[in-house]
Amino acid sequence: MDTQQLRRLLAQYFDNTISRSDCELLLQHLDESDSAQLSAIIDDVLKVRHRAVPFEQAQQTRIYSRLAADISKRREITPRSRSTAADKPFGRWARIAALWLAAIATALWLHLQFNSAPSLPQQAAATIPDDIVLPDDNQAVLTLADGKALIVRDSMHGVLANQAGVTIRLTADGSIQYESTVTHGTHTAKVPRQPIPYNTFSTPKGHSHRLILPDGTRVWLNTASAIRFPVQFTGSERIVTLVGEAYFEVAHDETKPFRVLAEGSTIQVLGTHFNVSAYTDDTQVVTTLLEGAVNVSKNGQHIALRPGEQAIVDGRTGRMWQSTADTQSVMAWKNGYFRFDNESIESIINKVSKWYDIEKVAYHGQFGDRFTGTFQRSKSITQLFDHLEQIAPIKFKIEGKEVVIMK
């Protein structure tokens, strides 16, 4: 299918004028094609439209019936649960149906509220005139032990600094790397006379960065996060402190456990892959294990994790519990996406605010809508808001770094 034909079928699909045979052809193409290319094309189609999608009852029924079978196959919905969903009003489900397959294939949005609601007026979704722009250059900050702050840009390369027998350099792939320049014997002799200095590496909003610690541990630091660590691991433990979110691939060393201190929680490993989310403005510290073994502790409580599990620590009560993790959702940020699973608009705004530098949010109205989908973090926030306006009775207005959300 060429691009022109795809655009035509998509326009008909959103207008509900597509024939049954063309609908089958479009859905098959969405299943089999590259999601990144489809995402760009659908973005363009929606951008041209700038209005809500009207649905007539007969068209709602036809699209729903076709997609319900595909949804049940993808999510293994039982016949009983399908019939229950089919009995519910079509008012808002029509909009779900129109976007479901696109959401799976191309990071568009799925609205999960099954209750009936009035359709958006055709002029309701207004163009958003302003935007919150991401920084053009990744300006992370490396703070040395003497307090000197180095601005680290993607365009830089080579040696950044030398301290305590360690060379700090920016590698070709943009990682900050620590390399020891002293022998083990010389290093051991210096330890009693001089404390090992600590560095802090932090990322701004709108960017993430990679870091290779002195022991070879690889760290991916998410937006608005910071990690503090020694320039050399000399004792019986390897200890770092995290604020924000990071993914770790820890270099294995049975003689030196690796510990992450995050908002009062301690995560201990020997060598493994795991993610820690510990933003100060969140109420929970969430540790998700992807490979190996992790022990999470706080206030005398301990949880041992297996791959695919996560430990959650409530910062207000100190309570800890264990659950099965959706690792795709947890790791979406590292792969350049936001991923939402049946989340409220408040939850979505809380997540994207860490990336897009939203300083204030004002809500006008009651919001019961729920959303599931993925969205590329390289896109502008107006594109995100435009998608949401297309599928739910919500309007957004940007005023500087404030977002106003209206029902």
Mean pLDDT in residue range 67-72: 44
**pLDDT averaged over every residue in the chain:** 75
Q: What is the pLDDT of residue 301?
A: 92
Better pLDDT: 166 or 52: 166
> How far is it, in rounded angstroms, from Cα 370 to Cα 82?
19
Mean pLDDT in residue range 115-129: 36
Mean pLDDT in residue range 51-69: 44
Confidence of residue 155 (pLDDT cuts 50, 70, 90): low
Residue with tokens 């294990």, as numbered in its chain:
289
pLDDT tens, position by position, 238-261: 999 999 999 999 999 989 999 999
Mean pLDDT in residue range 224-237: 93
Q: What is the pLDDT of residue 61?
A: 44
The residues near 318 (Cβ < 8 Å, ≥ 6 apart) are: 298, 299, 301
pLDDT tens, position by position, 264-290: 999 999 889 999 999 998 889 999 999
Mean pLDDT in residue range 336-365: 89
Q: What is the pLDDT of residue 212?
A: 94
Domain ranges of the chain: 3-132+335-406
Strand partners, 167: 162, 179
CATH of domain 3-132+335-406: 3.55.50.30
Confidence of residue 222 (pLDDT cuts 50, 70, 90): very high
Task: Looking at mean pLDDT, say which of 30-34, 72-76, 82-86 comes out highest.
Answer: 30-34
Tokens of 68: 């319900």
**pTM for the whole thing?**
0.70
Residue 92 predicted with pLDDT over 50: no
Instruction: Specify the amino acid at residue 342.
Output: N
Confidence of residue 315 (pLDDT cuts 50, 70, 90): confident
